[in-house]
Chains A and B, each alone.
Chain A
Amino acid sequence: MAYSEKVIEHYEKPRNVGTFGTQKEIKEATNIGVGLVGAPECGDVMQLQIKVNDDTGLIEDAKFKCFGCGSAIASSSLATEWLKGKTLDEGMEIKNTEIVEELALPPVKIHCSVLAEDAIKSAIADYKQKNNKD
């Protein structure tokens, strides 16, 4: 499998790796939304966390961890970059096709980008649910 330069670049220097705390701490923090998607038996699990500024409503920070192929790692790394500074609504607008384009993913790797989109949506939904927004 030949990877694009951008995938390799993200894979080698992934952005925003980490978490804002232990699973328990994260669950309790109301300014943090978590998306945990995929499944170990499928060979891919993505964890995306967003930290939202309660005053401005902007995503001020994002972090990820990923168990998956190089394309999944690159997709989630890219997602965290894109999320920072966006509103929740803008975050919801990010499409997997944009990730595919940016990283030049081949067809067999499209689902890795879908996973990243799912992770974004589920992190935002988690934040909203914690804060009883819509």
Chain B
Amino acid sequence: MSAKLPKLPIYLDHAATTACDPRVVEAMLPYFTEKFGNPGSRNHSFGWAAEEAVTKARHQVAELIGADPKEIIFTSGATESNNLAIKGAANMYAKKPAGQTQRGHIISVSHEHKAVLDPCKRLEKEGFEVTLIDPQSDGTVTREMIETVIRDDTILVTVMWANNEIGTFNEIPEIGALCHEKGIIFHTDATQWVGKMPTNVKEDNVDLLSLSGHKLYGPKGVGALYVRRRRPRVRLMALQEGGGQERGFRSGTLNVTGIVGLGKACELCAADMDSERQRLLNLRNKLEAAITNALDVVQINGHPDKRLAHLTNISFGFVEGESLMMALKEIAMSSGSACTSASLEPSYVLKALGIGDDLAHSSLRISMGRWTTEEEIDYAAEKIIEAVNKLRDLSPLYDMHNEGIDITKIEWAAH
């Protein structure tokens, strides 16, 4: 049985980035040309028009996450939001001034995005202490896990809402409640979560939340940081100083077109979030069922239920990821894999989950989106199965497995 041939190539890498929705582009266009004003220009209509557009966008973003519009700071994306939140909070709540040690304790997780890990590393060099915990083997992080590492001098906890490689999500409301009990600032990198899952920063006890436009059908290079204003009122040390825009948290003339696009994108995500999630979940179930029915030694990574509906991360035993991608050139996906000898590194996220080397080298991350069709998923499933079978015919490890040899017991000459 051959699936109906969809238009190629197929894009199944929405966790990396999404196309801008045409309605988003349409909303942005006037702000490049006739409505080009600087929202900081307070004394003419060009400025007022831009200001009005930014205000509208601020409402749209706030609405999506249950915030007050005053609590939204526009940035250049999640990387900047994370940096501003983590470095800004650490420096503001530091126990000792710059140049000293023991300035405060920060907690994060080893499978966070580099845009969280690297700012934490920087702070470590600047006199803060950082504890990185490992997620559970299903990829999740619980309140209890954070509770056991909190210290008297803990000033900041940062835990991502949903992981970008495996899609699993963490006990954010519970961890937030814990932090509030202890008077610790709580940040979450919600780049992969927002727009896909219902979010309410008030009820979910979040103090600081990062999001990005290009993961939710908005433009690249724009994002936002939610900064809680009440109980507690969170203060931050700005990274970027100048004209005092965004209440001084983030100076620089606002990216009006990008902000308008982000606002529109948020509004569109809110409009059909539940039905879209269900649609994608059905597609994912179909994809996973097709693959697991056709192939043995396949592992779906992460928690079975506590994960984003549009994303799956699958390890195929005895097949190497890069060669698998090569067989699937017509399907754009990510491979959390490849040989350690080349410049390509195996996934630190899968390693943090304690996934064995044999499986960590052979995983695909497949992430669907707004325009993914059932034909595309049927086609992808068929091609993936075909490619894995082809590569297993080539794989000495699969032979050994079938002969009952345990490959972990062989003395390999690692190089």
Contacts and interface: CB of A to CB of B under 8 A. Distances in A.
Given A43-B337, A69-B339, A36 B414 contact: no
B403 interface: yes
A45 interface: yes
B390 to A, nearest CB: 9
B316 to A, nearest CB: 11
A46 interface: yes
Interface in B299-335: 318-323, 326
Contacts of A41: 340, 357-358, 361, 412, 414
A69 B342 contact: yes
A47 B396 contact: yes
Contacts of A65: 394-396, 399
* Highest count of chain A CB atoms <10 Å: which of B321, B326, B346, B398: B326
Contact of B339 (A14, A22, A68): A68
A67 interface: yes
B397 A69 contact: no
Contacts of B230: none
B341 A43 contact: yes
A64 to B, nearest CB: 8
Contacts of A47: 396
A44 B413 contact: no
Contacts of A23: 399-400, 403, 405
Given A22-B403, A38-B415, A39-B413, A17 B394 contact: yes
Contact of A109 (B342, B393, B407, B413): B342
B320 A69 contact: yes
B293 interface: no
A38 B412 CA distance: 7
Given A36-B396, A39-B414, A43-B361, A67 B318 contact: yes
A45 B361 CA distance: 12
A69 B322 contact: yes
B43 interface: no
A66 B396 CA distance: 6
Nearest to B359: A40
Q: Is the interface of A mostly helix, strand, loop or mixed?
A: mixed
A46 to B, nearest CB: 7
Contacts of A22: 403
Given A65-B399, A69-B320, A69-B323, A42 B340 contact: yes
B319 A67 contact: yes
Contacts of A36: 396
A116 to B, nearest CB: 13
A40 B322 contact: no
Nearest to A18: B393
A3 interface: yes
A30 interface: no
Contacts of A17: 393-394
B401 to A, nearest CB: 11
Nearest to B318: A67
Given A108-B342, A111-B342, A43 B320 contact: yes
Nearest to A8: B326
Interface string B372-395: 000000000000000000000111
Interface string A3-28: 10000000100100101001110000
Contacts of B148: none
Contacts of A45: 396-397, 412
A46 B396 contact: yes
A70 interface: yes
Contacts of B357: 40-41
Contacts of A111: 341-342, 415
B259 interface: no
Contacts of B394: 14, 17, 65-67, 73
Contact of A44 (B318, B326, B341, B405): B341
Contacts of A73: 323, 394
Given A39-B412, A109-B342, A112-B339, 16 more contacts: A3-B326, A11-B323, A36-B396, A39-B414, A40-B361, A41-B358, A42-B339, A42-B415, A44-B320, A67-B394, A67-B396, A69-B338, A69-B342, A72-B339, A108-B342, A111-B342
Interface of A: 1, 3, 11, 14, 17, 19, 22-24, 36-47, 65-70, 72-73, 108-109, 111-112, 115
* 3 tightest Cβ-Cβ pairs between the two chains A and B: A43-B339, A39-B412, A41-B357
21 contacts: A14-B394, A19-B396, A19-B399, A39-B413, A39-B414, A39-B415, A40-B397, A41-B340, A42-B414, A43-B338, A65-B396, A66-B394, A67-B395, A67-B396, A69-B338, A69-B339, A70-B326, A73-B323, A73-B394, A111-B341, A112-B342
